Chains A and B, each alone.
Chain A
Amino acid sequence: MSEAKRLLMIDDDPDFVAGIKAILVKAKYEVDVAYNPKDGLQALKSKNYDLLLLDVMMGRGAEGIMIARKLGKDPKLRDLPVLIITGIREQMAFLFPGQAVHPHFVPVDELVEKPVEPKLLLEKVEALLKTAETRKAQSP
């Protein structure tokens, strides 16, 4: 068996984080958490992660979006797959539940709505990891 995948979650709600982390840990992922955007960016720079779980509404507004945009511009970090987990569906236009939505901040990303059912969460994480791997294998 290959080494456990290492995920980073950036979200300012510790209770919500606990609910997500427990599901991922049970599925044998290694999960680091940053409770604010600043620590999150710091962690991304200092460690290598296989996937980022990102909250949108943090601090003074949609700071998660700012992180996603920063990643998109960073030549090293833009290949990191990102799962955006958000509760603000009505502000991201009228998204329809269950439909795959690609925000396209970075090449491999997707969006799910809070709360996330365990099955859906694990499916999305797995799919994003796989897509990112395939992309990596294909690039020269």
Chain B
Amino acid sequence: MQPKSKILVIDDEEVVLDSCTQVLAVGDCQVTTTNNGAHGLKLVGEIQPDLIFLDLKMPGLSGFEVLGRIREQFPLMVVIVITGYATVSSATEAMKKGAFDFLPKPFTPEELRLITQRGLEHSRLVQQAVALQREKEILRENFAAIVSHELKAPLGAIQQNLYALTEELAGQLSDDQKDRLTRLKTRLDDLLKLVHSWLRVFSVDINKLKETFQPVAVADVVAKAVDTVQPHALRKAIEIASSVADPLPRVNGDEGSLIEVLVNLLGNAVKYSFPNNTVRVHAEAQSPQVRISVTDTGVGVAKEDLPHLFQDFGRGQAQPAGVAGCGLGLAISRRIVEVHGGAVAVESEPGRGSTFTILLPAMPSAPEANTTPERKV
């Protein structure tokens, strides 16, 4: 047996409450009534009705206010407004504010039954859609967790043994053999990173980052990102020059993810630079935002590639020899920045280099002390 449909009627006229109860309580509906908006709001939370009838004109909290708050707290709730003065304008106003339909007073039992049926049907559909969406989420997350373990575990075991063998055989290997082991490890490392990137794109709901936003010092983000990329830069004899304005407003965000964005941009800059080039990272306030830019003098991006750069799997045509990548880094970066309410942009000239810019909303409060001392590499 299906559970009874729960209907809440909020109206200051006893007569309306009584007639609604009489008409609807027969059959499979459970009707709750109240004569004021504030109590009505409380009941919405308590009984989680499938359908709400709401009078627009009530003393105290007005119907419009109640409607506004219901939509705010329970965006999927199906609300039908009862309008006493049967004016089209207040009814349309209510519909604009999210009401599903309106019922002009006075109404016949037949009209009430009909509109109730329609409202409940709509409510069922909404609830089904939500349930399906949730099921999809769960499937996606489980899939990601399984894939993550099944793919990464064997790769990790292989890599771990390559590490161990390198140690155990130290002193016994020729330079060529050592070199091949190093290349094997690099290839595996790239593969592990690729699996990780895929999982980031397809499994993690990036909006969840918002739940743990904290004030972040941009100078720290820059310093940590530079630290991470530094070994790669050294290998290509590329200098990373960073300058961070002090003081600089903080940004509200997730430090780890912001570092990831900057590591992506700096990593690209190094990857597409020529040996002995300098990559510049600069952060400054550009009220009301904080602007972080990464500039390289490398291969640059062709004009026709620019629009696709921040899309999934989008990569420019100009690929220097030996550069590997999956084209997900910038797409992930864009998503992370957008979750922070910011934007990424790129300017580039083929053969001259590129500048990637991140704009993040600055926090209004006290400026950060520049916590990072000068770094020498």
Contacts and interface: CB of A to CB of B under 8 A. Distances in A.
Interface of A: 13, 15-16, 18-20, 22-23, 26, 57, 87-91, 93-98, 114-118
Interface string B163-190: 1111110000000000000000000000
A22 B228 contact: no
A16 B158 CA distance: 7
23 contacts: A13-B157, A15-B158, A16-B153, A19-B157, A19-B161, A23-B163, A87-B153, A88-B148, A88-B149, A90-B144, A90-B148, A90-B200, A90-B204, A91-B148, A94-B209, A94-B256, A94-B257, A96-B224, A114-B160, A115-B159, A115-B192, A118-B164, A118-B166
Which of under 10, 10 to 19, 20 to 34, or 35 or more describes the interface residues of B? 35 or more
Nearest to A121: B163
A16 to B, nearest CB: 4
Contacts of B200: 90
Q: Is the interface of B mostly helix, strand, loop or mixed?
A: helix
Contacts of B257: 94
Nearest to A113: B156
Given A22-B167, A26-B167, A98 B228 contact: yes
B239 interface: no
Given A23-B164, A114-B160, A118-B164, A90 B149 contact: no
Nearest to B204: A90
A96 B194 CA distance: 16
Interface in B252-272: 254-257, 259-260
Ranked nearest first, the 9 interchain pairs of A and B with the lowest CB-CB distance are A19-B160, A22-B164, A115-B159, A19-B161, A15-B157, A16-B157, A114-B156, A115-B160, A96-B256
A90 to B, nearest CB: 6
A19 B163 contact: yes
B163 A115 contact: yes
Contacts of B255: 96
B210 to A, nearest CB: 13
B153 A23 contact: no
B71 interface: no
Interface string B202-220: 0110000100100000000
A23 to B, nearest CB: 5
A20 B160 contact: yes
Interface in B128-163: 144-145, 148-149, 152-154, 156-163
A89 B256 CA distance: 13
B152 A114 contact: yes
Contacts of A89: 196
A72 B247 CA distance: 43
Given A91-B145, A96-B256, A98-B228, A20 B164 contact: yes
B259 A96 contact: yes
B197 to A, nearest CB: 11
Interface string B47-74: 0000000000000000000000000000
A20 B200 CA distance: 27
Given A22-B167, A26-B168, A90 B160 contact: no
Contacts of A114: 152-153, 156, 160
Contacts of B112: none
Contacts of A15: 154, 157-158, 160-161
A90 B163 contact: no
B152 A87 contact: yes
Contacts of A87: 148-149, 152-153, 156
B148 to A, nearest CB: 7
A116 B204 CA distance: 24
A94 B165 CA distance: 31
B199 interface: yes
Given A15-B154, A15-B161, A95-B256, 4 more contacts: A87-B153, A90-B199, A94-B257, A96-B260
B160 A116 contact: yes
A68 to B, nearest CB: 18
B254 A18 contact: no
Nearest to B206: A94
Contacts of B145: 88, 91
Contacts of A57: 149, 153
Contacts of B160: 15-16, 19-20, 114-116
Contact of B167 (A18, A23, A116): A23
Given A88-B148, A90-B199, A96-B259, A117 B163 contact: yes
Nearest to A26: B167
Instruction: Name the residue in A19, A23, A26, A57 with the highest tally of chain B Cβ atoms < 10 Å from its Cβ.
Output: A19
A22 to B, nearest CB: 4
B143 to A, nearest CB: 13
Contacts of B254: 94
